[in-house]
Amino acid sequence: MADRDGNRKELLEQLTMPGNTRCADCGAPDPDWASYKLGIFVCLHCSGIHRNLPEISKIKSIRLDFWDDDLVKYMRTHGNLSAKAKYEAVVPPYYYRPQATDCLVLKEQWIRAKYERQEFTADQTGKSRESAGNKEGFLWKRGKDKAQFLLRRFVLSEREGVLKYFTKEEIKGAKATMSLKDLNAMFQPEKIGNPNGLQITYVKGIQTRNVFVYHESRKEIVDWFNAIRAARLRYLKTEFPTTAESEIIPRITRNYLKEGYMEKTGPKQREAFRKRWFTLDLQERKLLYYKDPMDPYEQGAVFIGSRDHGYQVKEGLPKGIKGKKWKAGVTIVTPGRQFLFTCENEKDQRAWMEALNEVISRPMTPQDYAAEANFRRQS
Ligand SMILES: [Zn+2]
């Protein structure tokens, strides 16, 4: 007969072993679920994804479920490090490995790619990734002026260094040609209102252009995301041949450091405070604002330099100035002027200040100086 308490104790011990202290799939700390078919320890969230794949995975709670001796022994001889060696033997450098904070579609497709399709096992070593940065197909794209989504053909070409899309009158040429140089992509299920919603951004003139797309197939939208990443990696490696790949990889695509509503006033600081949607981009050091979260172009931008270059974020508003509806003020001091904002509550105010301080604490690179000078000329 299985020693119930002994087995639970043994499993809890296994959880302290290298590799098992974090979820095998998203890296969340202290997993307390396990797939006893794959021999891995996972977090509650990833366990839910495994539960939907009964062909490849079977889930038990470490603390709540009954474990017999054989399964406990199986877990001991396998575990997260051994699974990683097998199922993540040859993950291409551009392939996005989801983290605990990432959305469901990214985690689900990572889990399916690893264990169901076994895309990264050692026998895939010789598989050509040559065409990884090329892709063609249809995506639902949000119309520029109206809120509906229209089916559009997209073409990603690594060789041309662009992502293009076409309207029905393809003969007229691409509706937009986005250079890989400034291309970014991030999953935005909540903002787009679709679990497979992807926001693509590129620079057009001096503005950031947003393109919102989705595909009904979870695999297809994640394939698009990784194809864009493959093309971007190739571009960055060509552009910065002496930079280490480990330094380039975090720059392939990026999420915003923070986004959400604040109220802002104008340059005279006497204008009425208006509610706007803000996005903070750490890499570009830019706080952009929009009337609507899904606007194609920003209404304005604030360059956020570093502390030793006269940038500062302060709690509250200057004396005598009050927000409209919201009271929790944030003041951004730049060498040129002050920018005044109010947040819905103190919790959000703290979160914005923390995010802005993260940008301000980061030293400026030569590219940042150029961007700052460019920014001053334009504003
Ligand atoms: Zn997880």
**Residue intervals in the chain for CATH 2.30.29.30:** 135-251, 258-378
Q: For the residues 38-42, what does the mean pLDDT come to?
A: 98
Name the E strands within 38-125. 40-42, 59-61
Q: Give the model's pLDDT for residue 378.
A: 64
Q: Give the model's pLDDT for residue 260.
A: 97
**Residue intervals in the chain for CATH 1.10.220.150:** 4-124
pLDDT digits 0-9 by tens, 342-363: 999 999 999 999 999 999 999 9
Please tell me the distance between residue 45's alpha carbon and the centre of ligand 1 in angstroms: 6
Task: For residue 373, count CB atoms less than 10 angstroms from its CB and return exposed for 0-12, middle for 13-18, buried for 19 or more.
Answer: exposed
Strand order in the sheet with 312-315: 300-303, 286-290, 274-281, 258-264, 338-343, 328-333, 312-315
Please tell me whether residue 285 adopts helix, strand or coil conformation.
coil
Q: Give the model's pLDDT for residue 2.
A: 66
Q: For the domain 135-251, what is the CATH code?
A: 2.30.29.30
Positive/negative CA dihedral, 154, 156, 161, 163: positive
Please tell me the distance between residue 321's alpha carbon and the centre of ligand 1 in angstroms: 46
Q: For the residues 152-162, what does the mean pLDDT come to?
A: 96
Name the E strands within the chain. 33-35, 40-42, 59-61, 135-142, 149-157, 162-166, 176-179, 184-187, 198-204, 207-214, 258-264, 274-281, 286-290, 300-303, 312-315, 328-333, 338-343
Give me the chain's average pLDDT, please: 94
Single-letter residue type at 174 = A
Please tell me the distance between residue 81's alpha carbon and the centre of ligand 1 in angstroms: 15
Please tell me the distance between residue 70's alpha carbon and the centre of ligand 1 in angstroms: 25
Please tell me the distance between residue 43's alpha carbon and the centre of ligand 1 in angstroms: 4
Please tell me the distance between residue 84's alpha carbon and the centre of ligand 1 in angstroms: 14
CATH 2.30.29.30 fits 258-378, yes or no: yes
pLDDT at 128 over 80: no
Q: Which CATH architecture has domain 4-124?
A: Orthogonal Bundle (1.10)
Q: Give the model's pLDDT for residue 267.
A: 85
Please tell me the distance between residue 111's alpha carbon and the centre of ligand 1 in angstroms: 10
**Under 8 Å between Cβ of 155 and 136:** yes
Residue by residue, DSSP assigns 306-345 as -GGGT-EEEES--TT---SS--EEEEEE-SS-EEEEEESS
Please tell me the distance between residue 201's alpha carbon and the centre of ligand 1 in angstroms: 28
pLDDT at 124 over 90: no
Q: For the residues 364-378, what does the mean pLDDT come to?
A: 85
171 Cβ partners below 8 Å, 6+ apart?
none
Please tell me whether residue 264 adopts helix, strand or coil conformation.
strand
Q: For the residues 10-38, what does the mean pLDDT come to?
A: 97
The answer to whether ipTM exceeds 0.90 is yes
Please tell me whether residue 91 adopts helix, strand or coil conformation.
coil
Please tell me the distance between residue 17's alpha carbon and the centre of ligand 1 in angstroms: 17
Torsion of CA 334, 340, 343, 347, to 10 degrees: 40
pLDDT digits 0-9 by tens, 56-90: 999 999 999 999 999 999 999 999 999 999 999 99
Please tell me the distance between residue 53's alpha carbon and the centre of ligand 1 in angstroms: 15
**Backbone angles phi and psi of 209, in degrees to 5:** -105, 130
321 Cβ partners below 8 Å, 6+ apart?
265, 269, 329, 340
Please tell me the distance between residue 189's alpha carbon and the centre of ligand 1 in angstroms: 18
Q: Please count the helices (runs of H) and the strands (runs of E) in the chain.
A: 10, 17
